[in-house]
Amino acid sequence: MTEDMKRAVVLLSGGLDSSTVLGMATRDGYACTALSFRYGQRHTVELERAATVAAHFGAAHRVIDINIGSFGGSALTDESMVVPTDGTEDGVIPPTYVPGRNTVFIAVGLSLAEAIDAERVFLGINAVDYSGYPDCRPEYLAAYQTLADLATKAALEGRGAVLTAPLAELTKADIVREALAVGVPIDVTWSCYQGGEEPCGVCDSCRIRDKALIEAGRPDLATRYAQAQL
């Protein structure tokens, strides 16, 4: 990386959306540092996939331990809670919501961005085909940007990081198309809430992803469960 290259932090879970954002940021000329979290989630498959995706795009990769999962309150961190497999009711925030997760992750991303003089923090949040999480909405991100602009030395000096969510208004099928366009190794990414040998195909995340892959013309990348239904 040369001194004059523009820098960015990309929050990378190892899933389809964040991997697509890393591909987009790389395509747009950013020298990226991918930031992942070991936060007490049920499994670490996604972290292994995040490392592979970061290497694919030539990004530096940092994994931060911040065990908010120990607080409980989410089916993604508390094994006594059941991950839903029959869909979720409209208007009801599902039990896979992790309390404060994005708020904590973005705060760490902003800290890293200021430390390395990155001009953007890229996020894979989406407000169209998502599970109803409150911290995936455009108004949430706008409010957080206001906080970031007040909270950092870099922002007060006119060089604060901009929170950037290029997928926020895209459908999941459009995200798949964007992933294909920027060369994301989709088969490597992991979106499943479970941590088995292969994706379960029945959790909300798998269902949404499979539907999008089929709509985008790539049923071959869907889970075996979805392929069996075709």
CA separation for the pair 182, 59 (Å, rounded): 14
- For residue 68, report the phi and psi dihedrals to the nearest 5 degrees: -70, -15
Residue 22: per-residue pLDDT: 98
* Torsional sign, CA 206, 207, 209, 215: positive
pLDDT at 3: 62
Q: Phi, psi at residue 215, to the nearest 5°?
A: -65, -30
Q: Single out the residue of 12, 35, 38, 25 nearest to residue 188, CA to CA.
A: 12
The reported pLDDT for the residue numbered 89 is 67
User: Domain ranges in the chain?
Assistant: 7-229
Supply the pLDDT for residue 207. Answer: 93
pLDDT in the model for residue 63: 98
HSE of 71, CA atoms in CB hemisphere, 13 A: 11
If we measure between CA atoms, which residue out of 141, 148, 161, 122 comes closest to residue 32? 122
Predicted pLDDT of residue 205 = 92
Beta bridge partners, 60, equal 33
Is CATH 3.40.50.1000 correct for 7-229?
Answer: no
Backbone angles phi, psi at 210, to 5 degrees: -60, -45
> Measured between alpha carbons, how far is 182 from 177 in angstroms, rounded to an integer?
9
Residue 91 is predicted with a pLDDT of 72
pLDDT at residue 230 in the model: 85
- Which residues of the chain have a pLDDT value below 50? none
Position 88 scores a pLDDT of 65
Task: Determine the 3-state secondary structure of 213 from DSSP.
Answer: helix
